[in-house]
Amino acid sequence: MDKIRVGGGNRLNGTIEISGAKNAALPLMCACLLSAEPLRLTNVPTGLQDIKTLRQVLESLGVAIATNDDGAMIMQATQISDTHADYELVRKMRASILVMGPLVARTGTATVSLPGGCAIGTRPIDLHIMGLEAMGAKIELDGGYVHAKAPGGLKGAEITFPKVSVGATENIMMAATLAKGETKLYNAAKEPEIVDLAECLIAMGADISGHGTDTITIRGVEKLHDALHPVVPDRIETGTFMIAVALTGGSLTLKRARLEHLKALVGPLKAAGVHIEDSADGSGVIVSRNGTPLKGTDIMTEPYPGFPTDMQAQFMTMLTQCEGAGMVTETIFENRFMHVPELCRMGANITVHNGSAIVRGVKRLKGAEVMATDLRASVALVLAGLVADGDTYVNRIYHLDRGYERLVEKLSAVGADIERVASA
């Protein structure tokens, strides 16, 4: 299995183009199941393993998919030949559950394996099931599969999520586009990826309002049609590269980055001493740190627009190089501190107590063999390697392949000493 070698000590300078957001592209791909006409998506991060896995899931259901070299993907579900999403595919990635809502809405039935993904805590699908049941679907769990049936079609309903769930909001919003009557989602997720999905569905002919707020209204239509939609730039990739230059010093221009999606990260980064501004031509963001020491600061993960849980591990890595101490409190996933022992192997000073971690800055990290435990932990260890003495070897990088497009190439192009190494 391949690993990544990172040599520490190089400043980063140059330009990186931000890819389309994985967490936006996945539900957008599932939206193709709602129409017999083609859905054309641009700026799709087609090299990511999660995108490839979902493509296999969709093709197994009868979707015809073609991709261009420029990241465009054309999908057409003229006829859905199968409504059974198999365990062997779904187990690889949690987002596969997002085929359930569109399948039930379009065909009246779906059988979907319980999903897999990163081992960062329990992420039940009870809210997905609750929403579909409220719309009239009959749900059974049997043999590791969710069997959903609505032979008479789904019906509009008022659904209050007991807690904010991005996936459940996406699944039910898609299902409601073809339901009879009006559906209202209360305590809905507000992430930019939700807004992106809603805008794509509207381009397909859906009647949706309130996306970006905690109350989304969907008025069902008879059918959806073809559309062309660009995938929103990846805010988590953007934030990761922001922290990379915060750690190493230098200056990066992040093309296509959108600061309005990262306000909860930008504030703590500026407090730590990082300079961030929109580029003069409006095409992206410039991030720099030249000589000023970083200062410790506190963060708490929360649903959007709060601090994103997907940036917690990277921010913790930055805190290891700050003067003083910072506290990281994780409120979304209970197992998302699994990167802490690996950072401590590199010399970090981190104390975990329940859902919080105190990070005390150290003068230098030291290169070591470390093991990735999930997607964001993987990239946090790569970031640590950028400022560690000597070489760091990050193992189990299949996690990285799921969510970061051409990470090694992008960092190498701006001065990092980094390479992918084939295992002996």
pLDDT in tens, 358-379: 999 999 999 999 998 888 889 9
Specify the fold of 3-19+233-421: UDP-n-acetylglucosamine1-carboxyvinyl-transferase; Chain (3.65.10)
Q: Which of 32, 118, 200, 322 is catalytic?
A: 118
- Is 295 annotated among the ligand-binding residues? no
Separation between Cα atoms, residue 339 and residue 381, nearest integer Å: 8
Six-digit token pair at 244?
């990379």
Six-digit token pair at 379?
């990239």
pLDDT of res. 237:
97
Q: Do domains 3-19+233-421 and 22-230 have the same CATH topology?
A: yes
pLDDT of res. 119:
39
What is the dotted CATH code of the domain comprising 22-230? 3.65.10.10
60 pLDDT tier (thresholds 50, 70, 90): very high
pLDDT of res. 332:
87
pTM given for the model: 0.94
Q: Domain-by-domain residue ranges, the chain?
A: 3-19+233-421, 22-230
Quote the mean pLDDT of the chain.
93
Token pair 């641009």 is at which residue?
42
Six-digit token pair at 383?
């970031």
pLDDT above 60 for 405: yes
Cis peptide leading into 305, omega within 30 of 0? Answer: yes
Tens of pLDDT, residue by residue over 117-168, are: 433 334 478 899 999 999 999 999 888 888 999 999 999 999 999 999 999 9
pLDDT of res. 334:
67
| Greatest C-alpha distance within the chain | 66
424 pLDDT tier (thresholds 50, 70, 90): low
In contact, 269 and 321? CB cutoff 8 Å: no
**Residue 392 bridge partners (DSSP):** 6
- Is 308 annotated among the ligand-binding residues? no
* Residue 30 annotated as catalytic: no
- Is 332 annotated among the ligand-binding residues? yes
- Is 92 annotated among the ligand-binding residues? no
pLDDT of res. 118:
36
In contact, 310 and 304? CB cutoff 8 Å: no
In contact, 110 and 103? CB cutoff 8 Å: yes
- Is 39 annotated among the ligand-binding residues? no
Helix, coil or strand: residue 131: helix
